[in-house]
Structure 1
Amino acid sequence: MQVLITFPGQGTQRPGMLKDLPADPAVAAVLAEAEEVLKVPVAGMDTPEHLQSTVWTQLCLLTSGVAMARCLAAHDARADAVAGLSIGAYAAAVTAGVLSFADALRLVRLRGELMAQAYPRGYGMTAILGLDRNRLAPLVAQVCSPQRPVYLANFNAPTQIVIAGSEAAMAEVSALALAAGAQAAKPVAIHVPSHCPLLDAAAHALQQAMQGVALCAPSLRYFSASKARELRDPSRIADDLALNMATPVRWHETMLLAHANGARLVVEAPPGDVLTRLAQPMFADGMPLACDRTRLDSIVALMRRGQASP
């Protein structure tokens, strides 16, 4: 049974998320490295004030994901594959050995700064529940204009799609979607318009910054949520990481791909259980579980059992 670790994106963060990680030497080592690279005490990283910042939110999510994966590996609970949603792709790449945690911290700090500087206010993301792409896309096209941009951004499930753009445009699309039968339109705790062309310039700036970063071939299968395919070439993974902020997320397709490639035990790194809930319909013949809701010894036992199964 193949084991897949998934890493969540922005919107899942919560104050104290780093303090809630297992009390384990492997976790402590990751937190200490983050302190050394970022020059900030880890106790100050996940405060409510810091998590209002796109930069610190992304750094906390990266740190949390890497710490959990290394904790599991230290207990001889190893994955076969990784996948990350948006910023989660960086934790996936570090876990797969593509780039070092220190380099990932520096890149993610720059990533967050580029995104925040591009759109400091008035933009964000909204989840539309209950409409599929064919019904939502015309509503987005009806509203989108240079003055009021809005785009389809995350395809999390067939009827759970996130839009990105200006707050005014998203509000108009939300109203149209609800009138067309959507169950809900919920603003996401992300203050920038990710995964759409509005971040093209920022993505290309990050791509340039990645040119000098040392990269290795992945030691685990790396599933790209931007391309919904496995990537093996380190340079292609680097481009995937740099450009994913401006590229739609194809999470549902990526999980279908992982399932088709044998993944059955799907372990979601903290924080939260968003990806676990999204995985449940597709992995009915397997076991999606969230680290946040499961004892460490239970996760380790399940992963070891998965490794031992054909």
Structure 2
Amino acid sequence: MTQVFTFPGQGAQRVHMLQNLPDHPDVTLIKQQAKDILGVKLDALDSKEALTDTVNVQLALLICGVAWGRYLQNIGIKPDYVLGLSIGAYPAAVVAGSLDFDDALRLVKARADSMKSAYPTGYGMLAITGAEFKHVQAAVNSLQEKGENVYLANLNGEYQFVLAGEKRVLKIAAEQVRSTGVGASVFLDVTVPSHCPLLREQSEKLLAMFQSITLKTPNSLYVSAAKARVLHKPDEIKKDLALNMSHQLHWHDSCQMLKEKGVNRVLEMPPGSTLTGLFRKILSTGECYNIENLNLKTLL
């Protein structure tokens, strides 16, 4: 069985997501590391009020992904590949053994702070489902030609896309797509315009911060959702992590590539479930699970 661990991005967060982590010594250590470095208790990150702040959301997703990934490894369930969506790339790199958890906490805190300060209000992300790529891209192009801030950020599935930009403009884009007769839309629980050029300056600053960080060759193969390919060298992974906030994500192509490489089991780390559904559409004859709704004995 060739398996991949997937790690969700913003929008998957849930209140009290850090209160039901596995009972294991390694998880206890992870929680203590996070408390020591961040200087806060975990329940200060995942309350309803706390999760209105993108900084807390990104840190909580990092901690949750690392805790569950490490727990699975310790009980004998190990990934051949890791693949993270947006902020999910960071716990993926930690679980793969490339990025130290201590460094990841500091980097994610800096990443989230810079995103929040750049776009404190009025921006976000919107998902469109059921529409064809050509109609989504046409709506984005027409608005960009008028000088509007809207971008095609994520290509998550054959008929599932995410736009980033000003909320006012995102509504207009969704209306233009719906005028073709298809396409439902919903705002994601994301308060910043990720995966587009609006965050280019912030990603370059994060890359400069990465220069003082040492990454290792991963033990599991690290897949870049921005490039839809495996990255082997630490410097490649470093650049991918730093710049992914401003790069378009190709989740659908990444899943297709892993299928072609023989992956036949997908395990999505909590608190996510959406990535499992996206992968299942491609890996129709394989096994796709989100860990929270699975009896782990079936994997062992």
State if a TM-score over 0.5 links the two structures: yes
TM superposition shift of 1:179: 1.4
Matching residue of 1:307: none
Paired with 2:145 and 2:207, the residues of 1 have a C-alpha distance of: 27
Paired with 1:280 and 1:253, the residues of 2 have a C-alpha distance of: 13
Paired with 2:133 and 2:296, the residues of 1 have a C-alpha distance of: 38
* DSSP-derived class of the 1:186 partner: strand
More divergent stretch after superposition (3-12 vs 178-187) = 178-187
TM superposition shift of 1:168: 1.2
* DSSP-derived class of the 1:67 partner: helix
Superposed counterparts of 1:203-218, under 5 Å:
203-218=203-218
Contact in 1 for aligned 2:65/2:270 (Cα 8 Å): yes
Paired with 2:137 and 2:272, the residues of 1 have a C-alpha distance of: 29
Contact in 2 for aligned 1:148/1:168 (Cα 8 Å): no
Contact in 1 for aligned 2:7/2:272 (Cα 8 Å): no
Q: After superposition, give the CA deviation of every residue in 1:141-192 in whole Å (9 maximum; x if it has no partner).
A: 1112575310000000011000000011101001111111233110000000
Contact in 1 for aligned 2:126/2:170 (Cα 8 Å): yes
Matching residue of 1:128: 128
TM superposition score normalised by structure 1? 0.94
Paired with 1:55 and 1:295, the residues of 2 have a C-alpha distance of: 32
Gaps of 5+ in 2: none
Matching residue of 2:84: 84
Matching residue of 2:267: 267
TM superposition shift of 1:20: 2.5
Question: Match for 1:97: what amino acid?
Answer: G
Paired with 1:153 and 1:248, the residues of 2 have a C-alpha distance of: 5
2:179 aligned with 1:174: no
Q: After superposition, give the CA deviation of every residue in 1:83-128 in whole Å (9 maximum; x if it has no partner).
A: 0000000011111111100100000000000100110000000001
Paired with 1:245 and 1:128, the residues of 2 have a C-alpha distance of: 20
Question: Match for 1:261: what amino acid?
Answer: K
Superposed counterparts of 1:144-155, under 5 Å:
144=144, 148-155=148-155
Paired with 2:146 and 2:175, the residues of 1 have a C-alpha distance of: 20
Q: CA RMSD in A?
A: 1.2
Contact in 2 for aligned 1:81/1:223 (Cα 8 Å): yes
Matching residue of 2:107: 107
2:268 aligned with 1:258: no
Matching residue of 1:139: 139
Matching residue of 2:162: 162
Paired with 1:270 and 1:295, the residues of 2 have a C-alpha distance of: 14
Contact in 2 for aligned 1:128/1:182 (Cα 8 Å): no
Question: Match for 2:156: what amino acid?
Answer: N
Paired with 2:180 and 2:125, the residues of 1 have a C-alpha distance of: 20
Q: State the percentage of identical aligned residues.
A: 40
Contact in 2 for aligned 1:128/1:186 (Cα 8 Å): yes
Matching residue of 1:193: 193
| Structure 1 runs of 4+ with >6 Å offset | none
Gaps of 5+ in 1: 302-310
Paired with 1:19 and 1:177, the residues of 2 have a C-alpha distance of: 40
TM superposition score normalised by structure 2? 0.97
